[in-house]
């Protein structure tokens, strides 16, 4: 597997683009994005578990119920959630995209992100969609990425190439997400494309599996969004033998898809609102994967630990505390904890008790931009990772006036 450039247009058969259409007041920020495949694709998606769901989710579910789609349209600046006319507007976006792209509206995946509870103005989309459709290109992934961003400060993209059945296959994706992020899933949107030939059912199986260990292991602030969605389109243009069941080809595809999802998930976590550091909690020695996942999530969600990481304070007791209330069956008297980064590693806890360590060394380790929180449970061979960020003053500033 090789990392390549191109994002959602790295795979054969896709074009994309983004532009400012007028939903956002700031004219320098793109707020509309499109992705188009040259043919109908196998399609799959996963959605937020919040009982309050954005209207686009209901429409997308219906549109891809047959396992196929050909395009994506997404606006930022307005979530189109908790509105009486929400589904009507979401379906209208599909009609607008369909007309502009000359495809059936039922073959459109629709998404929205932004403020909840404000009526989505459809006129800017009606006016701009034909303009955007005319300029979609095979190097338009970055503009599409910008078009779906809200409080994000950086673009989030990843693409890889690998081989299946003697054919080069590519998977690429873009994502947005910065705040209101917590499993399952995070507050985020992810759009993934591949030129693999794969059946809709197997594609759905692969996406659900990949998301479980990547996007569903991200938490920024403990709030699960209403509009979360990760979708994938598979054009089949690579010409590999169709992946229609489990086996070597499926495992190869799943590994690559998981790599892309994990890369995007970590970029979402590292760009959490106000964040200065990416936190990765790696749990090893768990009795089973469920235990490892529960512990990793609990640690990464601890507000006290997140604040300590902001201050580069090796307050390892907060790690133990989070493990203790996680609900996972853990022998707390067997737990080891360490912190690591590019500046080195410092062991702080062995067998559930503190050990002497250099506060100066710990400060250097925790002052880096990416921090690993290493937890060894000594109870088995299972492992898991969770992804988060530090908690800073700026998180409150950003969310204190997000709506206004």
Residue 33 pLDDT > 70: yes
Q: Output the CA torsion 201→260→39→68 (10° steps).
A: 30
Residue 227 pLDDT > 80: no
CA-atom Rg of the chain in angstroms: 21
Instruction: Name 271's Cβ contacts closer than 8 Å, sequence gap at least 6.
Output: 152, 153, 154, 156, 177, 178, 389
List the domains of the chain with CATH numbers.
2-270 (3.60.70.12), 278-400 (3.10.20.340)
The residue that leads in pLDDT, 220 or 148, is 148
pLDDT at 186: 43
Residues 334-362, mean pLDDT to the nearest whole number: 98
Q: Residue 170, class by beta-carbon neighbours within 10 Å (0-12 exposed, 13-18 middle, 19+ buried)?
A: buried
Share of the chain above pLDDT 90, in %: 84
Of 313, 320, 296, nearest to 388 by C-alpha is: 296
Among the residue ranges 13-22, 81-90, 389-398, the one predicted with the least confidence is 389-398
The residue that leads in pLDDT, 150 or 387, is 387
Among the residue ranges 107-116, 203-212, 245-254, 272-281, the one predicted with the least confidence is 272-281
Of 294, 288, 374, 292, nearest to 336 by C-alpha is: 374
Residues 373-396, mean pLDDT to the nearest whole number: 93
Residues 36-61, mean pLDDT to the nearest whole number: 93
pLDDT at 223: 59
Quote the CA–CA distance of 316 and 365 in Å, as a whole number: 13
What are φ and ψ of residue 382, in 5° steps?
Answer: -85, 155
Of 143, 223, 280, 227, nearest to 398 by C-alpha is: 223
Residues 384-398, mean pLDDT to the nearest whole number: 88
The residue that leads in pLDDT, 52 or 128, is 128
396: left (phi over 0), alpha (psi -120 to 50) or beta: alpha
Q: Residue 307, class by beta-carbon neighbours within 10 Å (0-12 exposed, 13-18 middle, 19+ buried)?
A: middle
Residue tagged active-site, from 150, 151, 157, 187: 187
Quote the CA–CA distance of 192 and 173 in Å, as a whole number: 4
Residue 66 pLDDT > 90: yes
Which two structure tokens, joined as six digits, stand for 134? 């005319």
Residues 343-354, mean pLDDT to the nearest whole number: 98
- The residue written with tokens 């694709």 in the block is 41
Share of the chain above pLDDT 70, in %: 96
Of 362, 363, 370, nearest to 387 by C-alpha is: 370
The residue that leads in pLDDT, 227 or 209, is 209
Mean pLDDT for all residues in the chain? 93
Instruction: Name 4's Cβ contacts closer than 8 Å, sequence gap at least 6.
Output: 10, 159, 160, 161, 170, 172
Residues 141-166, mean pLDDT to the nearest whole number: 94
Of 14, 143, 25, nearest to 74 by C-alpha is: 143
pLDDT in tens, 264-313: 999 988 887 778 999 999 999 999 999 999 999 999 999 999 999 999 99
Quote the CA–CA distance of 389 and 221 in Å, as a whole number: 9
Annotation marks residue 187 as catalytic: yes
pLDDT at 57: 95
């Amino acid at each position: 597997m090789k990392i390549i450039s191109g994002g959602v247009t790295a795979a054969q058969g896709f074009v994309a683009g983004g532009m400012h259409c007028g939903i956002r007041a700031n004219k320098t920020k793109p707020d509309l994005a499109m992705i188009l495949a040259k043919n109908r694709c196998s399609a799959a998606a996963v959605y937020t578990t919040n009982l309050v769901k954005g209207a686009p989710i209901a429409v997308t579910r219906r549109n891809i119920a047959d396992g196929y789609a050909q395009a994506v349209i997404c606006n930022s600046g307005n979530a189109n959630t908790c509105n009486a006319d929400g589904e009507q507007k979401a379906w209208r976006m599909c009609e607008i995209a369909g007309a502009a792209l000359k495809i059936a509206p039922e073959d459109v995946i629709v998404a929205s992100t932004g403020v909840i509870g404000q009526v989505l103005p459809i006129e800017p989309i009606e006016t701009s969609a034909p303009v955007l459709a005319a300029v979609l290109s095979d190097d338009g992934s970055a503009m599409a990425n910008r078009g779906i961003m809200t409080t994000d400060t950086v673009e989030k993209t990843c693409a890889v190439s690998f081989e299946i059945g003697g054919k080069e296959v590519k998977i690429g994706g873009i994502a947005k997400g910065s705040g209101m992020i917590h499993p399952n899933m995070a507050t985020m949107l992810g759009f993934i494309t591949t030129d693999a030939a794969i059946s809709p059912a197997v594609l759905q199986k692969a996406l659900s599996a990949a998301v479980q260990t990547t996007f569903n292991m991200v938490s920024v602030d403990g709030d699960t969004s209403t509009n979360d969605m990760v979708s994938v389109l598979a054009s089949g243009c690579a010409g590999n033998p169709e992946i229609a069941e489990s086996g070597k080809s499926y495992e190869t595809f799943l590994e690559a898809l998981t790599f892309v999802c994990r890369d995007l998930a970590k970029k979402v976590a590292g760009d959490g609102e106000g964040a200065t550091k990416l936190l990765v909690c790696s749990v090893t020695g768990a009795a089973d994967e469920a235990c490892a996942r529960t512990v990793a999530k609990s640690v990464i969600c601890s507000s006290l630990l997140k604040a300590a990481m902001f201050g580069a304070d090796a307050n390892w007791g907060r790690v133990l505390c989070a493990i203790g209330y996680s609900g996972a069956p853990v022998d707390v008297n067997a737990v080891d904890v360490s912190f690591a980064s590019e500046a080195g590693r410092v062991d702080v806890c062995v067998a559930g008790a503190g050990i002497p360590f250099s506060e100066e060394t710990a400060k250097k380790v925790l002052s880096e931009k990416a921090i690993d929180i290493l937890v060894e449970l000594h109870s088995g061979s299972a492992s898991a990772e969770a992804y988060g960020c530090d908690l800073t003053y700026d998180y409150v500033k950003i969310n204190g006036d997000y709506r206004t």
